[in-house]
A and B are shown apart, each in its own frame.
Chain A
Amino acid sequence: MELILFYIFGGIAIVASLGLVAGKNPVHSALFMVVVFFVVAALFVLLGAEFLAAAQILVYAGAIMVLFLFVIMLLRLQKEELRNTSRHAFQKFFGIVLSLVFAFQVIMIFRGGFFKGAMGNFPPDAVKGFGGNTEAVAAVLFTDYLFPFELTSAILLMAMVGAVVLTKKELK
């Protein structure tokens, strides 16, 4: 059952990301991107990461995609893509070939299956003992990773200030 769901979601993810790359209209690409984000959230649920699935939908599908669509529609890019002034004739060919080679290599590495490591402290029973995935993530995030967590607030503040400064008409 889980395997069937994985194949369904994985298939949707691949088809939607191909649509994202191949679509002529940026708005269509953005909508395919929303599909990919939702499917990735579903895969997170399959992997038992419910907190990240919720965060994925809130942050990516909710915030980032709205921002993308807002900018695309603000900048009226539809005619941009039609002009199509590619000066590099072999760019498409080489891009696709390079990516295929890359995917082939990485898949060959993964097929070996030699990814073993030190086991952590959170087997499924321990996660249940914490009260769920969200509590277990919080237990690690607010102890071992407290300082990086505080740094993310600085990153977000810088992003906010930077976005305001960059889009201002003229600086006084």
Chain B
Amino acid sequence: MVPQEHYLVLSAILFAIGATGVLVRRNAIVIFMCIELMLNAVNISLVAFSKQLNSMDGQVFVFFIMTVAAAEAAIGLAIMVSLFRNKETLNVDEINLMKW
């Protein structure tokens, strides 16, 4: 029997690693993968709460998050393909259309 706090701490660590990636990396696709990592970290804590509270609602939420993540991946990667076609780069420092 694993205490619930263990799962929550693991989830916090994974979320922080994902946030670090978003802040530090310059490649748009890697930033995107870090966002998926953060979504996964949140999923872990939702399922942990769902187990602790004897409820299925958390698992249903995770199901919805997976759906939104799949849609987000499809749209985001499509945006990156068209961005690469226009700017020839995916480095977020060089994609500075908006000046401020």
Q: Inter-chain contact count A-B, CB under 8 Å? A: 241
Within A54-83, the residues touching B (CB, 8 Å) are 55-56, 59-60, 63-64, 67-68, 71-72, 74-75, 77, 80-81, 83
Bound-state Cα–Cα, A98 to B61, Å: 28
Contact between chains at B70 and A159 (CB < 8 Å): yes
Q: How many residues of A contact B (CB 8 A)?
A: 92
Contact between chains at B17 and A166 (CB < 8 Å): no
Asked if A148 is at the interface (CB within 8 A of a chain B CB), the reply is: yes
Question: 8 closest pairs, A vs B, by CB?
Answer: A120-B55, A95-B23, A103-B16, A159-B71, A166-B78, A21-B21, A99-B20, A106-B12
Which residues of chain B are near A83, meaning CB under 8 Å?
Answer: 91
Closest CB of chain B to A166's CB: distance in Å? 4
28 example contacts (A-B, Cβ-Cβ < 8 A) are as follows A3-B6, A20-B33, A21-B17, A21-B21, A26-B29, A30-B33, A36-B14, A43-B7, A47-B47, A52-B59, A56-B43, A60-B69, A64-B73, A68-B33, A80-B27, A85-B93, A86-B93, A96-B24, A99-B19, A117-B53, A139-B56, A144-B57, A152-B68, A155-B71, A156-B70, A159-B74, A163-B74, A166-B81
Which residues of chain A are near B17, meaning CB under 8 Å?
Answer: 14, 17-18, 20-21, 99
Q: Do most interface residues of chain B lie in helix, strand or loop, or is the interface mixed?
A: helix
Contact between chains at A110 and B8 (CB < 8 Å): yes
Closest CB of chain B to A19's CB: distance in Å? 10
B contact residues vs A (CB 8 Å cutoff): 1-2, 4-10, 12-21, 23-27, 29-30, 32-34, 36-37, 40, 43-44, 47-57, 59-60, 62-64, 66-75, 77-82, 84, 89-91, 93-94
